[in-house]
Amino acid sequence: MLNDIQNVLFSEEQIQHKVAELGETISRDYEGRNPLVICVLKGAFVFMADLVKRITIPLEIDFMAVSSYGQSTKSSGVVKIIKDLDVSVEGRNVLIVEDIIDSGLTLSYLIDVLERRNALSVSIVTLFDKPSGRSVELEPDYKGFTLPDEFIVGYGLDYAEKYRNLPFIGILKPEIYTKP
Ligand SMILES: O=P(O)(O)OC[C@H]1O[C@H](OP(=O)(O)OP(=O)(O)O)[C@H](O)[C@@H]1O
Ligand code: HPA
Ligand SMILES: [Mg+2]
């Protein structure tokens, strides 16, 4: 698996430092608001687990699974809900936890769904933002790192379901994408 990585873009230490900063800011902003923190599966599961440990105020968590990339490095443009929330968002301060915003299609779809279900507020925290990939306008409320126009893997992010368990963020060797 490590053989497939061309270079490391963010080390485990850099990521953990940023996650701690985000946790502090969110703890301050959501004091007294009992947020419902929603993890967008699968990619955000590693970030979610690390982030909530750095949030020091009471909160609740839930999970939603959506997918649009499948076996590709380009969004299909069709966002599918694979698993829905267990709890109602009505009247809740919702914080969506994403690993990456690329085209913005996944989140603009999710925000729309949650607003139609009458959430009191909907905000976004993403660890990675790739503004060059956008096909719809979307700005996260909290973000960790801005990315160049490259497909990244690790720390929850996959290529064709692999590499999610790498503790750092890497860029794959080009031949991995072009293999028959
Ligand atoms: O801004 P976008 O272009 O929509 O891309 C971002 C989304 O794509 C990835 O999910 P994916 O559909 O690959 O599902 P996964 O999390 O299960 O890998 C990623 O985890 C985000 O949810
Ligand atoms: O750069 C990426 N890596 C992994 N999954 C993704 N989904 C959107 N962009 C990416
Ligand atoms: Mg994916």
Report, as residue numbers or ranges, the catalytic residues: 102
Whether 152 is in the pocket of ligand 2, judged by its Cβ within 6 Å, is: yes
For 108-160, how does the pLDDT look when each residue is reduced to its tens digit (9 = 90+)? 999 999 999 999 999 999 999 999 999 999 999 999 999 999 999 999 999 99
End-to-end CA distance of the chain, in Å?
18
Sorted by sequence, the CB contacts under 8 Å of residue 156 that are 6+ apart come out as 42, 43, 44, 45, 46, 47, 99, 164
Query: For ligand 2, what atom is nearest to the CA of residue 43?
Result: 5
- What average pLDDT does this structure show over 83-92? 97
Predicted local confidence at residue 127, as pLDDT: 98
Q: Ligand 1 pocket: which of 106, 136, 146, 163 to mutate (most atoms <8 Å of CB)?
A: 106
The complex's ipTM?
0.97
Question: pTM for the complete prediction?
Answer: 0.95
Query: For ligand 1, what atom is nearest to the CA of residue 161?
Result: 18
Type and span of the H or E element at 170: strand 169-172
**Is residue 177 pLDDT above 90, yes or no?**
no
Joined together, the tokens standing for residue 176 give 């991995």
All domains of the chain in start order, with CATH? 12-151 (3.40.50.2020)
Predicted local confidence at residue 43, as pLDDT: 96
